[in-house]
Amino acid sequence: MAKRKIQISSEFQCLYCEQSSSTGEEDVVEELIALTDQRFQPAEGSNLDDLNLSITEFIIHDQNGLCSLEHSSLENGDQIYVCGRLKTICSNDDDQDDQDDSSMIVKKIGPLNEWWFSGFDGSDSLLIGIESQYACYLLKSPPHNIYKELFKELNTKMMLTKKIIEILQENPDTNLDELLSKLPDQSSSLLMTGINFIIQQIHSYDSSRDSDELCISDTRIFKILNEIAKSNILSKDLPPMLSLNQKIQNFPDQTTILNNVNTKNSVRILDGIFQNIICYRFGQKDSMVSSCKQFLSSNIEIGTFIRYPIDNHYQYGRIIRKYQDSKSLVHLNNYLLGQDTILGETISKNILFATKNCQDIHLTFSFETIVVKFCQTFPETNSSETPNEFSCHQIYDQKRCTFESLVTKSSIDCFGCCCEKIDTFDETTSYSVGDCVLLQRNDCRDLELPLYRYFDDNISNSSHTNEEKFDRKLYPEKWRKKCRTDSLEVPNPNDDSILSGFNVGYVEEIIPNEKDSSGNRLKLKIFYRPENIFKKFKDYQKCDYNLLFWSNRTMIVETSAIHRKCHVIFAKDNIVTTTNMVNQDEFFYFNQQYDHIDNRILSFENSNELKFPENFPSNDHSKFLGKFQILDLFSGCGGLSYGFEPFAQKLFSIEKDKQTAQTFKCNFVDSTVFNVDANLILNFLINKANQEEEFLSESLPENIDIIIGGPPCQGFSEMNRFSQTEYSLFKRSLLVCYLNFLEFYRPKYFVFENVYNMILYGKSLIFKIFCSFLIQIGYQIRVIISQAGCYGLPQQRRRLFIIGARYDQGKLPKFPKPTNHFNDSKSMIFKINGGEKFDPFDGHRGAYRTITIDDAIGDLPTLNDDDYFVDMIREYKCEPQCSYQREMRKNQQQQNSVRDHYCKKLSELNIERIRRIPREISADWRDLPNIRIRLSDGKIIEKLRYDNHHRRSKQTKTLIPWCLANSADKNNNWQGQYGRLSWQGHFPTIVTNPDPITSQGRVIHPDQHRIISIREMARSQGFPDNFIFQYGSVADKYRQIGNAVPPLLSMKIANEFFK
């Protein structure tokens, strides 16, 4: 290291520096004075540049205080000083007399030019040297007491570096596994966190080696370590809001090294799954008819399991009871072969599942008795050697797509009949006076309630008609909009179903039907809803979604017209907040009545007579708050953690992306965040667990109660051939990483989230393998396709959720029922590989109105053309105008400003295109004129040429994008590109890059000539305004939001867990 002259200037003074002879203590002198002392003169034949002197009880500091040599930057001119007791190297180190004549306390040795360490000879000691402008010194332990902790960390890394160099000197061909095994205990984590230091020191070692010595940098293991170091960019400057005890745990990315990280049990299960697939596809099929025998049903005992062939396929069942008046009629509880469930070929052929289906059947055909063994959990080995022996441990709901633990009893019960009673109890159809019910709006037509439709101010009526006339030369692409007016991406906001779908009634009287009690009629008092009262949308918008008004309007309806019961409370003190709405089940409230004759809102006078409840439906979660150890895998910025964090005793996050991990830590300051590839953590957990050693004992817990998260889902090729390459690809995927964490920790519960298309990959095979693994490690599971708009979000967003509970945890948590009306609510019904259809909510629809874009972002300030891309704090445009805005700003009540409300900067051409997109529903690139213009920067934009020659040749920088016009015929006319949002529509699925020319191009603000801002995108996902996106570029922040689970949805999921 080159020497340089440095101006000596020091503000900090250590305890040595502060001492002087006037204190009566031992004299403390400066470096130059000490070097002139006769005791420290160089021996004959040497000079001050030789290593003749040592320093013990040392302290190292810079201008600001104590510092470590590791973190100092001597090359950048940092002024580093050493203070301590100076001795000659030949002095007796065992002399305990600190004030003997052979030593002297010296201050301000320095500033240092360089430091080094050596001692690569297999010994247990190190040589640490420093060099000032005047002499070289050896630092000898122990340091001063106040410096021990700082020196200990550096010394440990130096000893680890020394050990690595010595191992490679002995065997240059050492691989990574051998290296880790030879390092001292608990060195693996230190190797990862100190990798940059180790690489730097090895380079320094090689630069000073003799020509005939091994070059460590040329070894295979060093190249691997160097790759790790390059991928591990540690944060040099932590933000002020993160104190030292809040730092993110940084680790290197070892994806290229850890190609296959699986627990032993995972390997066994995955190998078994693929073996099942091969056997299913290529194995010999069981013979059916020949194996079945004719039995007399009168001889069959109750509880016997049978199977019988129908259409070349076996049906399975258990005889629950026999009927005395028939010799052949029995009641059969149906069972399904595992391969006939959604698990398909991934499950063993001797696994049965009970079902909730049953039937009365005449046993007049050939059937066979089978042996079924009930188990508490999935059998680890397939012990059955005969084709008529089976195991059963769960009940499969063919309607709702769930697998739940089977509660075995000594009595022989029909699971179909039992579940039917439970469902009847949950969704009771008996009514009493005082009940409140939901009716379809169409069933209340006789009342002729007014219904205001709230036309959007920025909607042109002509945008929905095919008869619109326009100049074809000026708008050469507008004709394309006539082709698909029946399938607009943006629904008509005047459609009744967008606002609400139900009326609410109060059962005032039950009118009996003497002939048929099930045909009773109900006399109802009909509540008015805000859309029946307020003509102006802004007045309507200010009302809570669940607000009702009592009225004297009555009607009589058949019980068959009732959709379901609902909760209505009388809010006496008018204290109803959106927080209550998020944390509680669906309910309505009222505190006023509406006089429809005089069109007046009055106070409600009959609360004592009718005795409405005055409290929300009980849903107390307090006993669960702060009780669970929760791990968020592939956590992103924390959307899913947002709902579960209140229930966390400690929240852990693993997130590979640095900026995203920092965002997580910023918003969950008490969490422990690992900025690392999850496979690396998993690798250490597995290896250290096998060696019975602790890993990250201060950070990672021994037990996890809940694992949440959703790994990035890579696209898989056709998985019907099962080559070795495809097998290896799946086993290395992040999906399997998630499964391995579950297998390792075996948490009580888990929540898995991913894109909807995961159930389609490889003809649903990836999904089947995933679910099969979960069941085989002992979990009950519930499969759901959610639609964000049905849960109070202003966005169309389908996602796959799998909720799991360990077999010993009792009841499987439910997924929250839809609360909001949404035009795409049927999208929650799904199929697996084109097979049976699943409706997890049994047709349940939400009774609250749809949340619109105006609800979501209407209160955010207007962005100016000259600073829309500037990151600055801006004042809100107005007070919250609706429940959604109040929810987003509930933690900002003391602040009148919002952060992250800015966009990425657009090119002048894109800005001009956006300016010319009309402010009307369904407006997009097809509405652009084909004209020659001059941009604000002086550039000329030519017209798009449509002759055959120019159409084939790419034309750049035209107002109508050539790439869209040239390929629209084959791409559904590129509907939505450069699309403008509508105030009373909803967002399309939010993606990670809101670019107007992408497939999700409807990202232009309803009024302003720009794309949606970071905060507007966050609002569309349900991130409250106090959730800050402080780290990364504009693109990073968009990506963090687009990849997240909506926090409002995660809150509802978490609340459902802990009912």
Residues forming the active site: 713
Stretch (H or E) spanning 84: strand 81-88
Sign of the four-CA dihedral 634, 636, 640, 642:
positive
Contact 373, 332 (CB under 8 A): no
How long, in residues, is the chain?
1059
For residue 865, the 8-state DSSP code is T
For residue 259, the 8-state DSSP code is S
Cα 933 to Cα 747: distance, rounded to the nearest angstrom: 63
709: helix, strand or coil: strand
Phi, psi of 594 (to 5 degrees): -115, 125
The 3-state secondary structure of 919-934 reads CCCCCCHHHCCCCCEE
In 3D, which of 102, 152, 105, 98 has the Cα closest to residue 126?
152
Cα distance from N-terminal residue to C-terminal residue, the chain? 65
Whole-angstrom CA distances from 291 to 113, 382, 987, 998 are: 90, 22, 59, 59
43's CB contacts (< 8 A; 6+ apart) are 52
In sequence order, what are the beta bridge partners of 436? 506, 566
Contact 1002, 982 (CB under 8 A): no
Q: Peptide bond before 996: cis, by omega within 30 degrees of 0?
A: no
14: helix, strand or coil: coil
Contact 453, 494 (CB under 8 A): yes
Cα 730 to Cα 475: distance, rounded to the nearest angstrom: 50
Sign of the four-CA dihedral 656, 661, 662, 663:
positive
Instruction: Name the token pair of 907.
Output: 């090119």
Cα 351 to Cα 775: distance, rounded to the nearest angstrom: 12
Buried b / exposed e over 1-21, threshold 16 CB at 10 Å, is: eeeeebeeebeeebebbebee
Q: Peptide bond before 111: cis, by omega within 30 degrees of 0?
A: yes
Contact 967, 974 (CB under 8 A): yes
Cα 384 to Cα 386: distance, rounded to the nearest angstrom: 6
